[in-house]
Structure 1
Amino acid sequence: MSKQEIGRVILGKYQIESVLMESDEAIFYKGKQLTLEKFVLMKAFRSSNIDVITREVRNLARLNHPNILSLIDYGIDADGKAFIIFEMPEGENLKNLISRGETLSLLRVNELIQQIASAIITAHANGIVHGQLNPQYIYIAKSADNKEFVKVFGFESAGRITTIEEAAYTAPERFIDSDIKDARSDIYSLGIIAYELLTGRVPFVGDSIEEIRSKHMQSPPPPISSYRSDVSDELEAIIFRALAKSVDNRFQTMKGFAESFDFAVNLSKKHLDQSVQPVRASDSNPWKTAFIVFVGMVSLAAVFVYLTQVKQIDPPTSLPRDANSLPVQPINPATGSMEQTLSNMSGFENISNASSSINGKSESVRTSDPWSRGAFIPPPTGQYYDANVNPESPFMPADGNVYIIVPKNTNSNVKPTKTPSANVSNGQLPAVKPTPTPDVPKEVKSSAIPIPKASPKPSPAQSPEPQ
C-alpha cells in the first residue's frame, strides 16, 4: 500500500518519491517540494484520529534543537490522511554506517552519543518521549568544516513492535505495554545504540520478536570487552547500567547517562582517535634504523668511558699525619701465650676472703701463697695483697689476681704494727686501731721513700712469714 503512494502529490505541493521506513504508527517518505524543488521528509499517519495527531504536531513544533529535524509544514490530504513535513536530513542513515562494519573510535562514538542524547534531553524537557529510538531515526551529515552532526526524528513513535529491527532496540517494559511513554525507555534504547556502535552488533538477537523479547527480559548483555579491548571497565559498566532490566536501576535521566558516558571515555587511557594503520614496507628504511642503533651504541660507550675514566677517583693509600697526635704503642698480635700462661698457673687453691673498706668502697681482699708454686715472684721485702676489687665485674673475674705491694719500713725508729688476723668464719675484719704517727726526720719528709726495685731471685722453698 505504501509503495502505491510513490509519485502522488499531497497537500498540493509535496510529491512522494520513495519510502524510507515504516512503523505501526506511520510511514516515512522522501518527498520533494515542487515549487522550491527541495527535498523533504514526510510522515504519513496511519491513524485517522485528527485530534491526537494535531496535539502531537503542536508538541513537535515546540522542539527547537540543532540535532532535531525541524517541522516545516502540516496538513490533511483530500482522503483524510494527516501528514507532517520535515526538513530532509543530509548525509546517511546511522543504520547504513553500522552495516558497513567499520570500527569506530571511542571519541567518534562518544561524539555521536552526545549529540543524540542532547536531542533526546530537549524532547524530554518538553514532555516528549521518542518511544522507538533506533539507528533508522538518526541521520549523520557533514558540516562545512567536515565535522559530523546528527539529526534525530520520529518522536512520539510509541506503538506495537512489528519488526525484528524494532524489537532489537525496545526496552523490556514496552514489550509488556507498547503504549507506555517513559523517558527511561529512551535511555535503554540509546544504550543499545552505544553498544552497537562499539561492537558492530546489538546485544540481543534472535529469529523472532518473541525470542528477542525473552532476551531483553532475562539475559545479560555479552561483555563489550569480548569484542574490543580499548573499552574500559567504567565505560562498559555505564552502558550496562543503561541496559538494566528494571527502569529503577537505570540512569534516571538522559543527561546523567550522557555525562557519565563522556566522563568514562575521557578517563580511559586506552582510546585512540583513529584506527591504527599497519606500517607499510616502503615506510621502513634499514639504513636509517642501523644509523639510529649505531648512534645509540656510541652514546652508551661515551657514557661508560666518562664514568670509568674521567670520573674515576683513586682512593688514598695513607692517611695524613696529625701534628698534635701522640705516639701509640703498637699492640702485639694476639698469640694466645698469655692466656695459656694464666691457665697453667697454680697455687691459688687456698685463698682466704676478707672484707675491708678502702676509701669508702667495699672490697674483697684475698691473700694467697703463690711462692711455693713459683707462680709469682714477690718483691725482696714487704708484704703484698691479692685484691679483687669487684668480684662481680665482668672486666675483673673472681679468679683474677691484682697484687698490691706494701714497701718495707726503712725507718728503724718505727716499729711495725701487727696486722690483726682476719676473721674467716664470719667474713668480717676486726676493727683496727689507728697507729700514732712516729717522728720522721726532716730528711725523710722532704724526700720520697725509696722503693727498692725487685730483682729476679730464685723462689724460696717455703713462703716467709709476714713481717
Structure 2
Amino acid sequence: MNKELEANTTLSHYRIVSKLGAGGMGEVYLAEDMPLGRKVALKLLTAELTQSRDRLSRFDQEAYAASALNHPNIITIYEMGDEAGRHFIVTEFIDGVTLRKQLSGAPMDLSEVLNIAIQIAGALEEAHAAGIIHRDIKPENIMIRRNGHVKVLDFGLAKLTEASVSENETNTQAITRALVQTEAGVVMGTSQYMSPEQARGKPIDARTDIWSLGVVLYEMATGRAPFVGETKTDVIVAIAKSDPPPIARFAVNVPPEFEWIVMKALRKDVDERYQTIKELESDLKTLKQRLDFQTELERSMGPERLTGSLSSLGPGLTDTKIPGAPPILDTWVPGEAKRTDSAPRAAQTRASSAEYIVGKIKRHKSGVAVIALAVVLIAVAIAVVSFSRQGATLTDKDTILLVDMNTTGDPVFDGTLKQALAVQLGQSPFLNIFSEDRV
C-alpha cells in the first residue's frame, strides 16, 4: 500500500505541500513546481495499481486524452512521469470545489445551472470533435472555480474513437491505446450517470456523454438524481426501464423549456436523444439568452410596470398560449422543427414576457411600426454584409445613421424594445452599435 506523501517530500522537481484527496486510481496532492514556482496538482497512482497493466494503461490514457485537448473548460495536463516506480500525472491546480460539494441536496439557481451546463457542454464538444468520449461525466469530475469557471476532469475512462487516431501516430502509441479499449459487455462508469446503452455494456458513442450531462442537469435543478435505487443494480434497472420524475415536482419556477431540454437529453433511445453535444449546448444557450432578456426586461421596468405595458397592448395578452411547443423553444432557428415535434404536451403553457410582447405587438398598430423598423434595420445589415463581400466602397470606417420616430406611447416600453433590437443587431460580426449619446 502507498505510504502517504508528507509535506516537503520531493518527487522529481515537485515539492509536496498537502494532500487534496484520493480516488479509485490514486491520491491527489497539492504540490509546487519548484523551477517555475507555481502550484500544481499531482495525481499519484497507488502502488497496488501499478501491478495492473490495464490500470497503468488507463492512467496513461487519462494524461493522453486530456493533453490532446486544448479548451478553457478542460483541465490542463503539464506532465506525466515515473520516478522510482511511482507513476504520476501533474495538472493545473484548480482553486475551487467539485460540483458534488456545491450540490447541497437542494435545487440550484437556474441561471447558475445553465452557466455550468453550457461550460461542460463546451468542453465535451471539444473532446467529441477530437474523437474522445469522456464516459464518466458526474459532479465529482466537475470542478468550479470561485469565479464560476468550470473545468472537466478525469479522462481515465475516456473512450478513444477512430476520429482520434492520427495518421502520424506511431505503432507504440497505437499499441498503448489498444490496451485500454473496453471489451464488449464490460461496464465502465458510475452507475447513476450511465446511459442505458452504457449500463448494458453495449457499444457507445458521444451520445452517452449527452445522457450523463442530462443527469447532471436534472440533479442540479432538483437536488436529487433522476434514477435512484437501494443498490447499483436497482439504479441500473431504473435507468433502463423507468422515466425520471418531472423536474417540476422538486423544483419551483423552473420553466417547461428547461425540463423539455433535460428530458430530450435523457431519451433512452439514442436516436431520439440530442444527436450532438453542440445541439444541446445551442439549446441551453438559447434558453439562457431568452431568460436573461426576460430578467432584464422585468428588472428595468419592474413587474407592475411591465404588466401595465403588456396590458396596454390590448386585451387577452396574459392568456396568450403557444400550442405544440415550449414557449421559448418554439422560436428555434430553421432546422429545429424536428425537435419541437417531440415536445411534451405538458409544455403547452404560458409564454415568457418576451414572447408576450412579440406575439401581441403584431396586433398593435404602433408595434407594427416597430417591427417594420426592425425589418429595415436587418435589411440594412444584410446590405452592409453584401457590399463588404463584393468589395464595395463601404468599409469599417463608414457609419450608417438610423433614426426611429415611431413610438407606442409608453417611453419605458419603447426604450425596452429599442434595447432589445440593439442587442439582436449587436450579434452581427459586421455591425458596431453605438449608443444615442455618441451620435
TM-score range, shorter chain: 0.5 to 0.7
Aligned to 1:403: none
Aligned partner of 2:263 among 240, 257, 274: 240
Q: 1:190 to 1:21 in 2, by over 3 A?
A: farther
Which of the pair has more CA radius of gyration? 1
For residues 187 and 11 of structure 2, what CA distance do their matches in structure 1 show?
28
Q: Could you tell me whether the CA contact under 8 Å between 2:222 and 2:247 is conserved in 1? A: yes
Aligned to 1:20: 21
Q: Aligned-pair distance for 1:48?
A: 3.3
Q: 1:263 to 1:37 in 2, by over 3 A?
A: closer
For residues 157 and 197 of structure 2, what CA distance do their matches in structure 1 show?
15
For residues 109 and 51 of structure 1, what CA distance do their matches in structure 2 show?
35
Aligned partner of 1:78 among 63, 75, 84: 84
The answer to which of 153-162 and 247-256 deviates more is: 153-162
The answer to which of 61-70 and 38-47 deviates more is: 38-47
Greater relative CO, 1 or 2 (CA 8 Å, sep 6+): 2
For residues 114 and 94 of structure 1, what CA distance do their matches in structure 2 show?
14
Aligned to 1:152: 152
Aligned to 2:380: none
Partner SS state of residue 96, structure 1: helix
Q: 1:54 to 1:89 in 2, by over 3 A?
A: same
- Supply the AA of the counterpart residue of 1:107: S
Partner SS state of residue 199, structure 2: helix
Q: Could you tell me whether the CA contact under 8 Å between 1:72 and 1:87 is conserved in 2? A: yes
Aligned partner of 1:62 among 65, 68, 79: 68
Q: Does 1:172 align with 2:232?
A: no
Q: Aligned-pair distance for 1:247?
A: 1.9
Identity of aligned residues (%): 30
Q: Aligned-pair distance for 1:112?
A: 0.8
Alignment of 1:303-382 (within 5 A): none
Q: 1:37 to 1:263 in 2, by over 3 A?
A: closer
Q: Does 1:87 align with 2:92?
A: yes
Question: Mind listing any 5+ residue stretches in structure 1 that lack a counterpart?
Answer: 277-467
RMSD: 3.1
For residues 17 and 200 of structure 1, what CA distance do their matches in structure 2 show?
31
Q: Aligned-pair distance for 1:268?
A: 5.4
Q: 1:109 to 1:56 in 2, by over 3 A?
A: closer
For residues 181 and 14 of structure 1, what CA distance do their matches in structure 2 show?
41
Q: 1:55 to 1:197 in 2, by over 3 A?
A: closer
Q: Aligned-pair distance for 1:76?
A: 1.8
Q: Aligned-pair distance for 1:219?
A: 0.5
Aligned to 1:307: none
Q: Does 1:207 align with 2:230?
A: yes
Q: Does 1:106 align with 2:110?
A: yes
Aligned partner of 1:190 among 213, 219, 225: 213
What do residues 394-445 of structure 1 show as CA deviations (whole Å, max 9, x unaligned)?
A: xxxxxxxxxxxxxxxxxxxxxxxxxxxxxxxxxxxxxxxxxxxxxxxxxxxx
Q: Aligned-pair distance for 1:215?
A: 0.4
What do residues 276-313 of structure 1 show as CA deviations (whole Å, max 9, x unaligned)?
A: 9xxxxxxxxxxxxxxxxxxxxxxxxxxxxxxxxxxxxx
- Supply the AA of the counterpart residue of 2:270: V
Q: TM-score, normalised by structure 2?
A: 0.53
For residues 204 and 153 of structure 2, what CA distance do their matches in structure 1 show?
17
Q: 1:236 to 1:20 in 2, by over 3 A?
A: same
Q: 1:247 to 1:5 in 2, by over 3 A?
A: farther
Aligned to 2:45: 44
Q: Does 1:125 align with 2:126?
A: no
Q: Could you tell me whether the CA contact under 8 Å between 2:111 and 2:288 is conserved in 1? A: yes
Q: 1:192 to 1:228 in 2, by over 3 A?
A: same
Partner SS state of residue 83, structure 1: strand
Q: Could you tell me whether the CA contact under 8 Å between 1:106 and 1:265 is conserved in 2? A: no
Alignment of 1:432-451 (within 5 A): none
Q: TM-score, normalised by structure 1?
A: 0.50
Q: 1:131 to 1:202 in 2, by over 3 A?
A: same
Q: 1:123 to 1:16 in 2, by over 3 A?
A: farther
Aligned to 2:101: 96
Partner SS state of residue 262, structure 2: helix
Q: Aligned-pair distance for 1:108?
A: 1.6
Q: Does 1:116 align with 2:130?
A: no
For residues 5 and 187 of structure 2, what CA distance do their matches in structure 1 show?
25
Structure number having the greater helix percentage: 2
For residues 269 and 90 of structure 1, what CA distance do their matches in structure 2 show?
28
Q: How many residues align?
A: 262
For residues 16 and 270 of structure 1, what CA distance do their matches in structure 2 show?
46
